[in-house]
């Protein structure tokens, strides 16, 4: 690839801070990919606060030290601060997305596990499967969410995508307790929805499924994933629920997944996802080092596509999955 003697910086938040576990997961993934594929590439992990002035100083140093690529920052605040700096001195693969819409300056490319993108993909999947039944009306969706910023972002993205497709959606039902409201079914409205989208974690979704009963198609993003067959968690209450997940979690026989070492023992589902993010970040970085032309990649986080003419983002297409015997497995795509 012509990357002999290349220096790559991995910018991470302070590892004694609140993001220590997430940081360790991403770093472990980058190092796993580097150990396998990184001949001629040196990776240096650099701790940095997510303040614009410190980031500016770091980039000046990286330029002077002839670094060829930066991976990170990892936090949304860090990504936002960097994007607001304007042009940067070293090409950078951002490992999160800004916390608001920003016009990204040159040399910045975004690759993330953004819940918004997944939720939009779920809306497209649910809409296609519902309209395939031959409805002579707009399909109806209901959204149930827990009271958390991540769940709200997921619910809003699903609603926007569903509306754009021509579906009909009611206002989301939100709850904050350990159990859904007793009048949940009444609050979903009449006539009954064709689709219910759950913006919550797997354990919350298993309780919600029992309250919803049978007869309605239920969908969710990877938030409701309990991990694949290797997971110790089994949630048979969710059998039949559709979701999106990444090959790393549910396709152990996937060629890309088999090529890299398993995550360290003790990594939970979220840490596994971030470990996979680190693996694909390094692989995408290699593609960018090779010239930044358009490419497609079978990633451990999904099918990855990049076209610089279309914008500075790596498109990640997650895998359609379905709960069977209490765990998510690849779904048969109609």
What does the domain layout of the chain look like in residue ranges?
6-110+252-317, 116-246+319-330
- The CATH code of the domain at 6-110+252-317 is 3.40.50.2300
**Is it true that 6-110+252-317 and 116-246+319-330 share their CATH fold?**
yes
CB count, 10 Å around CB of 143? 25
pLDDT at 175: 86
- The dihedral built from the CA positions of residue 153, 154, 157 and 158, taken in this order, carries a sign that is negative
pLDDT at 282: 98
For residue 258, is pLDDT > 50?
yes
pLDDT at 183: 79
pLDDT at 101: 79
Stretch among 185-194, 216-225, 307-316 having the lowest mean pLDDT: 185-194
pLDDT tens-place string over residues 79-111: 999 998 888 999 999 999 988 778 888 889 999
Q: Candidates 2.40.128.30, 3.40.718.10, 3.40.50.2300, 3.90.1420.10; correct CATH number of 116-246+319-330?
A: 3.40.50.2300
Average pLDDT over residues 48-77: 94
pLDDT at 4: 53
Distance in angstroms (rounded) separating the CA atoms of residues 103 and 82: 12
Show the tokens assigned to 145: 């969410």
Distance in angstroms (rounded) separating the CA atoms of residues 55 and 60: 9
Burial of 302 (0-12, 13-18, 19+ CB in 10 A): buried
The model's pTM is 0.94
155: closest CA among 145, 147, 165? 145
pLDDT tens-place string over residues 12-32: 999 888 999 999 999 999 999
Q: Give the helix, strand, coil percentages of the chain, each rounded to 5.
A: 35, 20, 40
pLDDT at 5: 79
277: closest CA among 35, 18, 8, 22? 22
Average pLDDT over residues 140-146: 95
Distance in angstroms (rounded) separating the CA atoms of residues 244 and 158: 13
Coil, strand or helix: which one is 304?
A: strand
pLDDT at 3: 44
pLDDT at 334: 61
Averaged confidence pLDDT in the chain: 92
Q: How confident is the model at residue 1 (pLDDT cuts 50, 70, 90)?
A: very low
Put the strands of the sheet holding 315-317 in their side by side order: 295-298, 303-306, 315-317
Coil, strand or helix: which one is 208?
A: helix
282: closest CA among 38, 13, 12? 38
């Amino acid at each position: 690839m012509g990357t002999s003697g290349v220096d790559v910086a991995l910018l991470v938040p302070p590892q004694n801070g609140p993001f220590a576990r997430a940081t360790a997961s991403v770093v472990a993934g980058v190092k796993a990919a580097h150990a396998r594929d990184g001949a001629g590439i040196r990776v240096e992990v650099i701790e940095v606060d997510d303040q614009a002035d410190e980031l500016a100083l770091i980039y000046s140093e990286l330029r002077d030290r002839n670094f060829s690529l930066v991976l990170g920052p990892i936090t949304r605040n860090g990504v936002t601060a960097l994007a607001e700096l304007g042009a940067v001195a070293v090409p950078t693969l951002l490992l999160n997305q800004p916390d608001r819409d920003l016009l990204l300056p040159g040399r910045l490319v975004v690759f993330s596990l953004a819940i918004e993108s997944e939720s939009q993909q779920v809306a497209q999947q649910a809409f296609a499967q519902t309209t395939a039944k031959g409805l002579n009306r707009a399909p109806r969706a209901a959204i149930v969410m827990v009271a958390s910023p991540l769940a709200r972002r997921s619910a809003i993205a699903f609603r926007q995508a569903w509306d754009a497709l021509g579906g009909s959606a009611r206002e989301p039902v939100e709850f904050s307790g350990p159990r859904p409201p007793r009048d949940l079914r009444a609050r979903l409205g009449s006539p009954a929805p064709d689709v219910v989208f759950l913006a919550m974690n797997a354990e919350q979704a298993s309780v919600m499924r029992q309250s919803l009963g049978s007869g309605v198609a239920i969908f969710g993003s990877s938030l409701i994933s309990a991990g694949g067959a290797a997971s110790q968690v089994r949630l048979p209450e969710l059998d039949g629920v559709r979701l999106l997940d990444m090959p790393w979690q549910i396709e152990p026989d996937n060629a890309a997944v088999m090529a890299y070492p398993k995550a360290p023992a003790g990594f939970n589902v979220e840490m596994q996802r971030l470990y996979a993010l680190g693996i694909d970040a390094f692989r995408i970085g290699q593609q960018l080092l090779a010239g930044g032309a358009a490419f497609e990649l079978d990633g451990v986080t999904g099918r990855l596509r990049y076209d610089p003419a279309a914008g500075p983002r790596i498109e990640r297409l997650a895998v359609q999955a379905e709960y069977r015997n209490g765990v998510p497995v690849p779904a048969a795509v109609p």
